[in-house]
Structure 1
Amino acid sequence: MGNFSERRHHYDNGNRSVDWIVVMQHAVLLIEVKSTRPTDPIRLGSTAMWETLSTKLRKAYSQIEKANRNVSDRHPAFAEIPHDLPRLGLIVTMESFAFVNTPEVQSRLDTESTIPTLVCASQEVELLVTLRSTPINRFLLDFMTDSEKEVFDLSNELTAQPVDAFCRNEVMDAAWDSYDWGL
């Protein structure tokens, strides 16, 4: 992934901001992980869909906004985070939420986002970290700030890459190799 550092940030008596802050060469990633997946109202498009979807994601957006504000305001607990690099928000969920990043859905979610923020599934992050053709922060900056791609999910952009743009996932390989598999 290139040169980067990551930290979990707590401030003001243990209050949490986001789950991870990843400082890379060209951007700072504010990452919030939610162990959520689309429920029946969301999958079926029922009338309760908007309230359910907003409830599941609202806190993630507010945590990213709070962290972004703390970096911008140079809160002492965030002093080591560069305030002059572009910041991107990543909300990582257990499963993909279809169409959640489209402007139409975003306008209905009743959330605020002052920085480019993307909802993506954990399997998309697993593929993203194997990208070797472009630094991840450059790839995300280009993708998340391209107005022509605002209706795309991250998986669309990743699967559009040539196969040789990716390497093996070293974390998954190490986990696999840690088992002796009865041999």
Structure 2
Amino acid sequence: MTVCSIGELEDLVTITDAPVGRVLLERAADARRSTYALREALSGHDHARNPVLDAGWDSYPWSRDAAGRESSESAGGAL
């Protein structure tokens, strides 16, 4: 068992270069590192974007407004 922040948990579930279970088991097997913050075990791993968080943020109206502004600005349009 470990205590972690929500940010550490979010980073944990986006690891792409190793199974999450292996990362946790290796950390737990190390008597010293198992006492460190979980973030320490996550460093050095490749991470992907979290599709659940992306979908949540994309569901807000201001997300669509911001995307529209970015498209207009990149196309040279003015607001």
TM-score by length of 1: 0.32
SS at match of 1:118: coil
Distance 1:127 1:179 in 2: 22
CA offset digits 1:7-64 (Å, max 9, x no partner): xxxxxxxxxxxxxxxxxxxxxxxxxxxxxxxxxxxxxxxxxxxxxxxxxxxxxxxxxx
SS at match of 1:119: coil
Unaligned runs of 5+ in 1: 1-116
Structure 1 equivalent of residue 75 of structure 2: none
Distance 1:150 1:168 in 2: 26
Structure 2 matches for 1:121-132, cutoff 5 A?
Answer: 121-132=5-16
Structure 2 matches for 1:71-150, cutoff 5 A?
Answer: 117-150=1-34
Distance 1:132 1:173 in 2: 17
CA deviation after TM superposition for structure 1 residue 155, in Å? 1.2
Contact 2:28–2:34 (Cα < 8 Å) also in 1 = yes
1:180 aligns with 2:64: no
Distance 2:29 2:51 in 1: 29
TM-score by length of 2: 0.69
May I ask how many residue pairs the two structures share in their alignment? 64
Letter in 2 for 1:125: L
Between the two structures, name the one with larger relative contact order (CA 8 Å, sep ≥ 6).
2
Unaligned runs of 5+ in 2: 66-79
Q: Which structure shows the higher helix fraction?
A: 2
1:161 aligns with 2:44: yes
Q: Percent identity?
A: 38
CA deviation after TM superposition for structure 1 residue 144, in Å? 1.3
